[in-house]
Amino acid sequence: MKNMNSRNKIAIVGLGYVGLPLALAFAKKFKVLGFDINKKRIDSLKLGIDYNNEFKKNILTKNLNLNFSNTSASLKSHNIFIITAPTPLTKGNRPDLEPLIKATKIVAKHMKKNSIVIFESTVYPGVTEEVCIPLIEKISKFKINKTFFCGYSPERINPGDKKRTLTKIKKIVSASNKKTLKKLILLYKSIISAGVYSVDSIKVAEAAKVIENTQRDLNIAFINELSFIFKKLKINTREVLKAASTKWNFLNFEPGLVGGHCVSVDPYYLTYKSKKIGYNPKIILSGRKVNNKVSRFICEESIKEMKKKSIKLKSAKILIGGLTFKKDCSDFRNTKVLDIYNILKKKVHKVDIYDPLVSSSEVLSKHNIDTIRKPSNNFYDGLILAVDHTRFKKKGIKYFKNFLKKKSFIFDVKGMFKLDESDLSL
């Protein structure tokens, strides 16, 4: 490839759901170092174990172009750095840029002259040029567009999606100058079969990413609010949506829990920046307010149903099916299922979580919750199917009914199964 040959050595900084697929894809074309400060993560990957369950052992170990390290000195021999650090929220729902800043500092200490640093972390418009680039200049003593160059290409990874994988999703690319932009277009084109879409400004690329998730959050919030209304009107929400979707321009969204590290986070990033520049947005966080109510709504409806069926709350045992923030992935960061668990724990005798996709030890370590490997038969007074994992669908509703007592309730949050009229759904 012109201007982007195989002599380039790429370092992927951060090996989570975004970084690892990137490292594997680029290693088919270039020498790649997968770097992460988490020694446990690196040790596992060296053994061919991906505890996110995205990649199998043979994929992780057969590529001779790919090496893993948690030693920052190993970055010194590389000239292209792609930073995929997480961008979470503080407890006060403000942007937490600390992981991104930490990763940027590590790269700045070890980069050499004429390196290219690319950011993929989701941020509000301005972070790359106002926070990251000045930090690199301060630490490395290099100057932007003179002795180092920068790019921003927002990640669009969809965890658990086996169809729309990294290479099949069009990549937005931006850079600090036109020459670098041309290089990055060639770089990403080498692995992205769906192609790239270049923009003239890093801020445009940052904004495009943050509004993708904000738009989705608002659309789902609208459907969730309709669900609240239709529940009071005793109308089946999904039947309404099916009817409405017969019109060509009706947007297909479904009610449900909205958590995770993107959709439930990015609206706060955008509003933070908006308020900084003197505009207090009226619509963006209204979606968050609605979506944050869904867990409590599910709990309140479940409690109403228990009282209706004369199930005593003090002795009631509830089974929650699914813990992850979305179907078919093992990621439980910012999952709203935890809100359901915590609310019900204060109301009923016992709450168990069953999700074969999550690491029980990680859940115990991070949330002090013992997830169960297999629910007991005829044991539970209620079942809340919170996540629509494909393996849950394959097992069928009869499988789950085995765990319930004769007098019990089912709340199928995502409408996986065709249930009795007496059962609950959003």
Q: Which residues are designated catalytic?
A: 262
Residue 171: beta bridge partners?
A: 196
Three state DSSP letters for the chain: CCCCCCCCEEEEECCCCCHHHHHHHHCCCCEEEEECCCHHHHHHHHCCCCCCCCCCHHHHHCCCCEEEECCHHHHCCCCEEEECCCCCECCCCCECCHHHHHHHHHHHHHCCCCEEEEECCCCCCCHHHHHHHHHHHHHHCCCECCCEEEEECCCCCCCCCCCCCHHHCCEEEEECCHHHHHHHHHHHHCCCCCCEEECCCHHHHHHHHHHHHHHHHHHHHHHHHHHHHHHHCCCCHHHHHHHHCCCCCCCCCCCCCCCCCCCCCHHHHHHHHHHHCCCCCCCHHHHHHHHCCHHHHHHHHHHHHHHHCCCCHHHCEEEEECCCCCCCCCCCCCCCHHHHHHHHHCCCCEEEEECCCCCHHHHHHHHCCCCCCCCCCCCEEEEEECCCCHHHHHHCHHHHHCCEEEEEEEEECCCCCCCCCCCEEC
Q: Which two tokens stand for residue 62?
A: 């057969």
* Sequence-distant (≥ 6) Cβ neighbours of residue 99 within 8 angstroms: 85, 86, 87, 88
- 171: left (phi > 0), else alpha (psi -120 to 50), else beta? beta
Paired strand residues for 68 = 34
**Long-range contacts formed by 416-423: CB under 8 A, 24+ apart:** 416/385, 416/388, 416/392, 417/385, 417/393
One-letter amino acid at 358 equals V
